[in-house]
């Protein structure tokens, strides 16, 4: 499953890079189907990054890789936890 996800991310990556961002696979929970990625570059401050994540990356992964249930951006988790410090 992880190999399939990585291949799909590699196919998506040029579109994200075209907007000066990037996406990296960070983890896959094969039991829950949750995929964690990290959006970097321009994606960090872009107000449309949630749309990119959910309507783009998540939708494509769900369509192409059986068992994917959700895609999360761990960069957002890191930012939120840093702000609360």
**Per-residue model confidence (pLDDT) at position 9:** 97
Give the integer Cα–Cα distance in Å for 83 and 81: 5
- pLDDT-derived band at 75, boundaries 50, 70, 90: confident
What pLDDT, in 10s, does the model give residues 13-50?
A: 999 999 999 999 999 999 999 999 999 999 988 889 99
Give the integer Cα–Cα distance in Å for 22 and 12: 9
Q: Could you say which DSSP state residue 65 is in?
A: S
**Per-residue model confidence (pLDDT) at position 22:** 96
Domains in the chain, CATH or no CATH each: 2-83 (3.30.300.130)
User: What are the two backbone dihedrals, phi and then psi, of residue 37, each rounded to the nearest 5 degrees?
Assistant: -125, 165
CB-facing half-sphere around the CA of 45: CA atoms within 13 A: 3
**Per-residue model confidence (pLDDT) at position 76:** 63
Q: What's the pTM value of the predicted model, to 2 decimals?
A: 0.85
Q: Could you say which DSSP state residue 69 is in?
A: -
- Answer whether residue 79 shows pLDDT above 50: no
């Amino acid at each position: 499953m992880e190999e399939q996800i990585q291949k799909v991310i590699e196919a998506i990556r040029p579109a994200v890079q075209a907007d000066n961002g990037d996406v990296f696979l960070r983890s896959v929970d094969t039991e829950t189907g949750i995929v964690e990625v990290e959006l970097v570059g321009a994606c960090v401050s872009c107000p449309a990054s949630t749309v990119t994540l959910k309507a783009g990356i998540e939708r494509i992964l769900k369509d192409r890789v059986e068992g994917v249930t959700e895609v999360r951006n761990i960069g957002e988790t890191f930012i939120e936890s840093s702000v609360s410090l």
